[in-house]
Chains A and B, each alone.
Chain A
Amino acid sequence: MAEYSGVLVCGEVVEGKVSSLTAELLGCSRKLADSLHEPAMLVLVGSEVSNLASQGAALGADKVFVADDALLKEYQTDAYLSVLAKLVADTSPRYILFGQSAIGRDLAPRLAFRIGAVLTTDCIELGVDPQTKGLLQTKPVYGGNARAIFTSPSFPQLATVRQKAMSPLQPDASRKAEVVTLAVKVDPAVMKSKLLQTVKEEAAGIKLEDAPIVVCGGRGIGSADGFKQLEELARMLKGAVGATRPACDSGWVPAHVQVGLTGKIVTPDLYIGVAISGASQHMAGCSGSKVIVAINKDPEANLFKEARYGVVGDWKQALPAFVNKVKELLAG
């Protein structure tokens, strides 16, 4: 039996930096590692990522593994999977953490099944069972209507963690980590799927997930034209427009502005939900907002239950008056 030890974070690199989600995972891994008295570790897979090890150290890792190879430049499941499966077999971490991101959602399940381990996806809280040293994994289920805590008697235990659910540490450049360069040999024969092209659809400007104010529309908006009013408001407030899944599926707005369980997670200071019923699947993406405002003609709409301020009435009448008044107040 292998001796399991340590918390391994599978990091992601975005635009030449350790991603914000990875920083959150490192903050979380530091806490878990301290309560276990075991090391917090980070693995960075990619091309020209060796120089990012110090960022991992500053954010809390004791040890950073680097798999640096030109063949790993873009995320490709089979290649990344073979690197991680070997690292896990060689180092026997107790817990392995991924972000609940496009990569984590794809890679973590494959790794779990490849190594015979248990994985809980989309966790919002992680803790250590002091008796068994099992990972206590809290995850929203039933579209957010309930929460479940999972664990397992076997190791390693894997979890993917929801964006913005954990806090990163304040980066400390004086922190040092042991850096281990992995000998990478990607066998092209394992690559059964090949990346042909990546298409970016997101417009320039304030990113939805980083915007301090989000104006979100639901099914009740009824048309692409209706969303133009929300866009005007968002521009005025220097915020961004989001939408529920039904609004995206109707083609009124592009798919990448979807807020919710399978879309983006937003935690703005102010979230204005217009003609949104507040289905749990949508709330999963916005309930972390500091202040929620609901405008809906149905007083029973679920969004009012999570809102700080509400207007009960037809948005087609309430919104133009609201927008005009906001404009006036901003000018004055």
Chain B
Amino acid sequence: MNIIVCCKQVLDPEAPPASFKVDPGANKVVPPPGVAPVISPFDEQAVEAALRIKDKLGAKVTVLSMGVGLVREVVKKPLSMGADELILLEDPAFEGGDSWSTATALAAAIKKIGAYDMVICGRQAADWDFGLVGSGIAELLGIPCVTVAKKIEVADGKAKVERVLSDGYEVLDVSLPAVITVSNELGEPRYATLKGIMAAAKKQPIIWKPADIGVSPTSIGAAGRRSTLVKLFQPVKECKCEVIEADTPAEAGVKLAIRLREAKLF
């Protein structure tokens, strides 16, 4: 089995909301000082999904990340969890893209890798929350796609996938190769082991430029965008919370019940 996992480096979505700032002139997010970026959480779950298949059946897991200013300790995390190889699409030309330019570059890189049975992505990235790239890669490669998976089992050249629904899940059979996007219902990603961290430190990522994957610079990054960002802004929130005054939390609980009853809320 050859599995490719796409991982995006993003601002830490767990950073406190108060530290989040937008530069409205530039339509860009200002990275909070002192907060290290992370692999987008659903993408870490995609790595976990691949490693579970590797544990069971044996597989080569190749991780693909794209961007500029990729922090090595961050993008190497999948290696320390147990992935085998890391390829970075690292060039200013890849920057500033939308779902189209991102899927175009990733699909071209996947074609260049050549041998793959499965491509696994997170269901959506923690920055723009679009949830398009996995499906886009599938369409560009002409292979099937199952989204929002919580379990993947491989047997007889097919994958059996459990896909999360709002009131349960459905089970699908999909022919391989296929793209599968995974959700948090898959379960927590494993921790990196000390051995894994040491092995990852020694591994050098392979770096590809646009010419290496045969894409025109006009189809990737900012030049390849098909959507236009008109405006990025922070919604204004007016705090008008009435904090119930009391000597103990229990007393506050009683007063809260009375207050809500007065307001006819129950």
Per DSSP, chain A at the interface is mixed
With A105-B148, A325-B254 as contacts: A145 and B170 at CB distance below 8 Å: no
On chain B, the number of residues with a Cβ less than 8 Å from chain A's Cβ atoms is 90
Residue B131 is within 8 A (CB to CB) of chain A in the complex: yes
Residue B240 is within 8 A (CB to CB) of chain A in the complex: yes
Chain A residues within 8 Å of B230, by CB: 136, 148-151
> Which B residues are within 8 Å of any A CB, using their own CB?
11, 13-14, 16-18, 20, 22, 29, 98-100, 103, 123-124, 126-132, 134-136, 138-140, 143-148, 150, 160-161, 163-175, 178, 183-185, 187-188, 226-235, 237, 239-244, 246, 248-254, 256-261, 263, 265-266
A322 to B148, CA, bound (A): 38
Asked if A142 and B11 make an inter-chain contact with CB atoms under 8 angstroms apart, the answer reads yes
Name the contact of A317 in the complex, choosing from B13, B18, B164, B250 (C-beta under 8 A). Answer: B250
With A118-B100, A255-B185 as contacts: A322 and B254 at CB distance below 8 Å: yes
11 contacts between A and B (CB under 8 A): A109-B147, A118-B226, A146-B235, A150-B230, A151-B230, A256-B168, A262-B123, A279-B14, A302-B16, A318-B250, A323-B253
Shortest distance between the CB of B68 and any CB in chain A (Å): 19
Asked if A309 and B257 make an inter-chain contact with CB atoms under 8 angstroms apart, the answer reads no
Asked if A109 and B135 make an inter-chain contact with CB atoms under 8 angstroms apart, the answer reads yes
Chain B residues within 8 Å of A78, by CB: 144
A151 to B225, CA, bound (A): 11
Asked if B164 and A110 make an inter-chain contact with CB atoms under 8 angstroms apart, the answer reads no
On chain A, the number of residues with a Cβ less than 8 Å from chain B's Cβ atoms is 91
Asked if B129 and A121 make an inter-chain contact with CB atoms under 8 angstroms apart, the answer reads yes
Asked if A146 and B234 make an inter-chain contact with CB atoms under 8 angstroms apart, the answer reads yes
Asked if B129 and A150 make an inter-chain contact with CB atoms under 8 angstroms apart, the answer reads no
Binds B, one of A34-42, A63-71, A193-201: A193-201
Shortest distance between the CB of A322 and any CB in chain B (Å): 4
Asked if A113 and B140 make an inter-chain contact with CB atoms under 8 angstroms apart, the answer reads yes
With A142-B129, A143-B126 as contacts: A120 and B227 at CB distance below 8 Å: yes
Residue A2 is within 8 A (CB to CB) of chain B in the complex: no
Asked if A308 and B126 make an inter-chain contact with CB atoms under 8 angstroms apart, the answer reads no
Residue A72 is within 8 A (CB to CB) of chain B in the complex: no
Asked if A270 and B265 make an inter-chain contact with CB atoms under 8 angstroms apart, the answer reads yes
With A143-B13, A150-B230, A321-B250 as contacts: A197 and B171 at CB distance below 8 Å: yes
> Which A residues are within 8 Å of any B CB, using their own CB?
77-78, 101-102, 105-106, 109-110, 112-114, 118-122, 136, 139-143, 145-154, 192-202, 209, 213, 237, 245, 248-249, 255-256, 261-262, 264, 269-270, 278-281, 291, 293-295, 297, 299, 302, 304-315, 317-326, 329-330
Asked if A195 and B172 make an inter-chain contact with CB atoms under 8 angstroms apart, the answer reads yes
A245 to B187, CA, bound (A): 11
Name the contact of B132 in the complex, choosing from A121, A153, A281 (C-beta under 8 A). Answer: A121
Name the contact of B252 in the complex, choosing from A199, A262, A318, A329 (C-beta under 8 A). Answer: A318
Asked if B168 and A311 make an inter-chain contact with CB atoms under 8 angstroms apart, the answer reads no
Asked if B266 and A304 make an inter-chain contact with CB atoms under 8 angstroms apart, the answer reads no
Asked if B240 and A308 make an inter-chain contact with CB atoms under 8 angstroms apart, the answer reads yes
- Please name the 5 residue pairs, one residue from A and one from B, whose CB atoms are nearest each other, closest first: A313-B249, A321-B253, A192-B144, A325-B257, A322-B253
Chain A residues within 8 Å of B132, by CB: 109, 112-113, 119, 121
Asked if B20 and A311 make an inter-chain contact with CB atoms under 8 angstroms apart, the answer reads no
